[in-house]
Amino acid sequence: MLRRETLPRVLLLLAALVFFSANTVYFFEDGGQEILASVDTSCHFDFDNVRDKGPYLNVKSAILVNYENGEVVYTKNPEKTRPVASLTKLVSAMVILDHGVDLNQTEKITKEDARRSSRSRLRVGFEMSLIDLMHSSLMCSDNRATRALARATCGSIEEFTREMNAKVKSLGLDNTIFYEPTGLDERNVSTAHEIAKILHYAYDYDLIREITSKRYHRAKIVNRKNSFRQMGNTNRLIYSPYKVLGGKTGYIIEADYCLATLLQNKEGEMLTLVVLGAPGDKIRFKEARKLANWGFRQV
């Protein structure tokens, strides 16, 4: 029999057990700063009913999933590890939002941000709010914006990348690894299967859904009088008959052209679509649309 004075202690332990069983994980920065990251690892896909026959796709790997029930409808080399280019930025955005940083604060684009950053409309010295940098990172795939966000979040690219890898590990994604937050490094790799899961987890973030489903956004350069940058979404399926609920494009030479997107048809059915390694920009969207057209006839 429990003594009365020990009962509160037992109840406290039981409460702690329930709390941690709810898929909540704490990460600690050096120096003891506590960061709370809610981790729901319940995303599991059912491969039992993959269709025997599907469309031929001119891509290296692909997967199509019924978002509502997790049933995998189509696969092509879904477990093959490949460079994923700027699909990386979906995880970068999750890490930023996990930190709860004030997105109204501002950050300047530095020379280091601009070094080997690929094309960008953001000049060195531009000061922008973090929310506008998030739009630039996710909609335009801007690498300078992503680096500035990483610095503002963790103080360094190295620490930010460490947290990206901790994030995917906590989600059970064993074949995904990052060496930096933009996707420019070809060593940033994953699989079509795990990218689809990353997209599902990213879709749980209201802001990622909002930004990646927009067609346009107008960003302000706060230290330039009356200076703005108009941004357009690089996911061209946003102009298809389907509603884009979220997603990300990616390209580097080693990865070819990539796309991860969540689509909804007029009946409200939702499909998660990932294509990796398309040999051209237009081919990426042509093959993705072909897969979506076929997929919505299967669900």
Angle at 245 between CA 149 and CA 200, to 5 degrees: 70
Angle at 291 between CA 217 and CA 264, to 5 degrees: 50
Q: What tokens appear for 234 in the block?
A: 């690089």
φ and ψ at residue 272, rounded to 5 degrees: -95, 125
Q: What is the DSSP string of 154-223?
A: HSSHHHHHHHHHHHHHHTT-TT-B-SSSSS-STT-EE-HHHHHHHHHHHHTSHHHHHHHT-SEEEEEETT
- Cβ proximity of 271 and 207 under 8 Å: no
Catalytic residues: 86, 89, 141
